C-alpha cells in the first residue's frame, strides 16, 4: 500500500469516528483504509491533483500582461468560438498544448476536425480507453460527417444520445440509459455506471445484464432490443470521461491554443519553464522557432532565474533562457548572480568570479554554454579564464570564492590565442550544458 499523492477525504465529523488515522512519514494525517473502504463508509473522496498546464497558462498570461497595460488578458473570459483557434487545432499544430499533443491525438484532430467547443469536448472524451477499446471513435466521426446513418435502438435513447450521434461517449450517458431505458433508480443507475466504467469478470457482466434487461422488459421493451442496448453499453469499458470532466479539459485545451496562437512568445516561454506535456525542451524550442519566436541562449547579464521575454526586431518578443537552464546552476546560484547584478553588470569573468560564490564545475558549465560570451572573447576563452582564476585565486574547496589574501589582478596581461569553436563543437557544448542547440 502507498500514500495517495492527492487524495482527500471529507466527512461531517472528525475522521477518527470513521477510520483509524495515523501520521505519515511527511507529517500528514492519513486514513488507514484504502479508497474502496473509504467509499464504502460513505465518505467523500476527492483526488486533488496538480496540472502543470495551469501554471503554464498563469505564467504566460502574466508575461503578456507585463507588456500590455491597456487591456490585460483575462484567460477565464475568453469567448470559446474563435475560428482561428479551431483552424490551428485542426491543422495539428498542437505540440505543447494541453491533452492534444500526442501523435494519436494529432491524427484524430485531422480526421475529426473539431469546430466548436462541443466538438472539442467530444474530442477529449473520444481519446480515452473506453471509447477507443469499445470501437466508438470511427463510427462517431462517420456519423458526425454524415457518412453513416444514426440509428437508435429505441426512442427512449434519443434524448440521451442525440448530441453524440447515437454513441455512448460519456459516463453520464451510461447513467441516463440505465435510468431512462432500463428503469433503474438514480442511485442504482449510478452504481451501474460505476461498475460499467471498470473492468469486470464474466460473472459480474452476466449479473448486470440480467438486471439491465429485466428492468427494460418491465417497461415493455423487447428482450432483443434490451440485449442490443446492453451490448452497446458494455463497450464502455476501461476509463471513460464524465462530460463535465471532458468539458473542463476542453476549456484548458482552448485556452492553451488561444495563447499559443496569439501570444506564442509568452506561451512557449511558460511552456519551457513548466514542461506541461510529453515533449522535452528541444521540441518546445523547435516549435517556438516555427512560430516565429527566437530563442536566446543564457547570458550572464540578461538572463533571469526563469524564462523571460526580451525585445526583438521580429513580430514576437524573444524568449531568453534562464540561468537555471544551464546544468549545475541551481535556483540558489541563479538568484545570487541576479541579486549581485543589481549592483552593476559583470564586466569580466574575473569580476563575476570575485563577486559571486559559484562552484568551479558550475562556472565551467556557464563558460561552455556561452553564458559568459558577452564578458569574454569566446566560450573557449571564458573556460580558459575560469581555469586560470581557479588556479591563481583558488578559494575554499570547490566554491570558487576568492581567498582573503588574493591579489587584486591575476589574469595574464596577454591572453594566448585560443581557437574558436567549430560548429560541431559549439553544438556539442550546447547540448552538454543546456540540452538544446543554437545551430539548426
- Does the pTM exceed 0.85? yes
Pair 20, 89 in one domain: no
Has residue 288 been placed in a domain? no
Alpha carbons 332 and 356: distance in angstroms, whole number: 11
Q: What is the pLDDT of residue 398?
A: 46
Pair 374, 424 in one domain: yes
Q: Give the mean pLDDT of 307-322.
A: 94
- pLDDT, tens digit, for every residue of 377-398? 999 999 999 998 888 776 533 4
Has residue 296 been placed in a domain? no
Has residue 440 been placed in a domain? no
Per-residue confidence at 313, pLDDT binned at 50, 70, 90?
confident
Pair 30, 66 in one domain: no
* 3-state DSSP percent of the chain in helix, strand and coil, to 5: 50, 5, 40
Q: What is the pLDDT of residue 114?
A: 97
- pLDDT, tens digit, for every residue of 91-115? 999 999 999 999 999 999 999 999 9
Per-residue confidence at 440, pLDDT binned at 50, 70, 90?
very low
Query: Which residues are within 8 A (CB) of 265 and not within 5 positions of it... i.e. 6 or more apart?
Result: 63, 288, 293, 309, 316, 317, 318, 319
Pair 222, 151 in one domain: yes
Has residue 117 been placed in a domain? yes
Pair 176, 90 in one domain: no
Has residue 298 been placed in a domain? no
Closest residue by Cα to residue 25 from 49, 3, 47:
3
Alpha carbons 24 and 4: distance in angstroms, whole number: 11
Domain boundary among 240, 274, 299: 240
Pair 227, 366 in one domain: no
Has residue 292 been placed in a domain? no
Of residues 405 and 88, more confidence is placed in: 88
- Percent above pLDDT 70 for the chain: 93
Pair 225, 251 in one domain: no
Q: How many domains does the chain have?
A: 4
Is the C-alpha dihedral spanning 270, 275, 277, 281 positive or negative?
positive
Q: What is the pLDDT of residue 264?
A: 97
Per-residue confidence at 34, pLDDT binned at 50, 70, 90?
confident
Q: What is the pLDDT of residue 146?
A: 93
Query: Comparing 136-150, 192-206, 333-347, which segment has the lowest mean pLDDT?
Result: 192-206
Q: Give the mean pLDDT of 17-30.
A: 87
Pair 41, 86 in one domain: no
Pair 258, 393 in one domain: no
Cα–Cα distance list, 127 to 202, 261, 271 (Å): 26, 23, 23
In the predicted structure, residue 53 carries a pLDDT above the cut 50: yes
Per-residue confidence at 173, pLDDT binned at 50, 70, 90?
very high
Q: What is the pLDDT of residue 359?
A: 94
Q: Give the mean pLDDT of 175-196.
A: 91
The 10 Å CB-count burial string (b at 16+, else e) for 73-86 is bebeebeeeeeebb
Pair 113, 203 in one domain: no
- pLDDT, tens digit, for every residue of 282-296? 999 999 999 999 999
Which residues form the domain of 211? 131-240
102-111, 202-211, 233-242, 404-413 — most confident range: 102-111
Q: What is the pLDDT of residue 139?
A: 93
Has residue 275 been placed in a domain? no
Q: Give the mean pLDDT of 31-45.
A: 86
- pLDDT, tens digit, for every residue of 398-434? 444 555 455 555 666 677 788 889 999 999 999 999 8
Task: State the first-to-last Cα distance of the chain, in angstroms, to the nearest integer.
Answer: 48
- Percent above pLDDT 90 for the chain: 67
Has residue 193 been placed in a domain? yes
Pair 204, 343 in one domain: no
Q: Give the mean pLDDT of 38-62.
A: 91
Alpha carbons 384 and 371: distance in angstroms, whole number: 14
Q: What is the pLDDT of residue 193?
A: 86
In the predicted structure, residue 40 carries a pLDDT above the cut 50: yes
Amino acid at each position: 500500500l502507498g500514500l495517495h499523492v492527492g487524495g482527500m477525504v471529507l466527512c461531517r465529523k472528525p475522521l477518527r469516528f470513521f477510520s483509524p488515522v495515523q501520521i505519515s512519514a511527511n507529517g500528514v494525517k492519513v486514513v488507514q483504509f484504502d479508497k474502496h473502504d473509504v467509499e464504502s463508509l460513505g465518505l467523500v473522496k476527492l483526488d486533488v491533483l496538480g496540472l502543470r498546464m495551469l501554471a503554464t497558462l498563469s505564467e504566460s498570461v502574466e508575461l503578456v500582461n507585463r507588456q500590455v497595460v491597456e487591456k490585460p488578458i483575462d484567460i477565464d473570459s475568453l469567448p470559446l468560438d474563435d475560428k482561428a483557434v479551431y483552424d490551428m487545432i485542426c491543422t495539428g499544430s498542437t505540440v505543447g498544448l494541453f491533452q492534444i499533443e500526442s501523435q494519436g491525438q494529432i491524427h484524430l484532430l485531422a480526421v475529426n476536425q473539431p469546430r466548436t467547443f462541443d466538438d472539442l469536448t467530444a474530442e477529449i472524451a473520444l481519446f480515452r480507453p473506453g471509447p477507443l477499446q469499445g470501437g466508438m471513435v470511427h463510427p462517431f466521426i462517420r456519423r458526425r460527417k454524415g457518412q453513416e446513418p444514426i440509428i437508435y435502438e429505441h426512442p427512449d435513447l434519443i434524448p440521451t444520445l442525440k448530441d453524440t450521434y447515437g454513441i455512448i461517449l460519456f459516463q453520464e450517458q451510461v447513467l441516463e440509459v440505465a435510468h431512462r431505458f432500463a428503469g433503474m433508480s438514480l442511485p442504482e443507475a449510478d452504481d451501474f455506471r460505476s461498475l460499467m466504467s471498470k473492468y469486470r469478470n464474466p460473472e459480474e457482466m452476466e449479473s448486470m445484464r440480467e438486471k439491465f434487461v429485466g428492468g427494460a422488459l418491465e417497461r415493455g421493451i423487447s428482450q432483443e432490443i434490451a440485449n442490443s442496448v446492453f451490448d452497446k453499453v458494455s463497450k464502455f469499458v476501461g476509463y471513460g470521461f464524465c462530460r463535465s470532466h471532458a468539458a473542463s479539459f476542453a476549456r484548458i485545451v482552448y485556452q492553451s491554443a488561444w495563447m499559443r496562437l496569439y501570444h506564442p512568445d509568452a506561451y512557449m516561454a511558460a511552456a519551457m519553464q513548466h514542461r506541461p506535456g510529453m515533449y522535452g525542451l528541444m521540441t518546445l524550442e523547435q516549435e517556438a522557432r516555427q512560430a516565429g519566436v527566437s530563442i536566446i541562449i543564457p547570458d550572464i547579464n540578461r538572463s533571469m532565474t526563469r524564462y523571460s521575454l526580451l525585445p526583438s526586431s521580429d513580430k514576437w518578443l524573444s524568449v531568453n533562457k534562464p540561468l537555471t537552464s544551464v546544468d549545475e546552476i541551481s535556483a540558489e546560484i541563479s538568484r545570487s548572480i541576479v541579486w549581485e547584478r543589481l549592483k552593476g553588470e559583470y564586466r569580466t569573468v574575473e569580476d563575476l568570479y570575485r563577486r559571486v560564490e559559484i562552484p568551479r564545475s558550475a562556472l565551467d558549465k556557464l563558460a561552455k554554454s556561452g553564458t559568459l560570451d558577452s564578458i569574454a572573447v569566446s566560450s573557449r576563452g571564458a573556460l580558459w579564464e575560469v581555469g586560470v582564476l581557479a588556479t591563481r585565486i583558488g578559494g575554499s574547496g570547490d566554491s570558487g570564492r576568492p581567498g582573503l589574501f588574493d591579489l587584486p589582478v591575476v589574469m595574464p596581461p596577454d591572453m594566448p590565442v585560443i581557437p574558436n569553436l567549430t560548429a560541431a563543437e559549439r553544438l556539442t557544448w550546447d547540448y552538454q550544458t543546456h540540452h538544446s542547440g543554437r545551430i539548426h
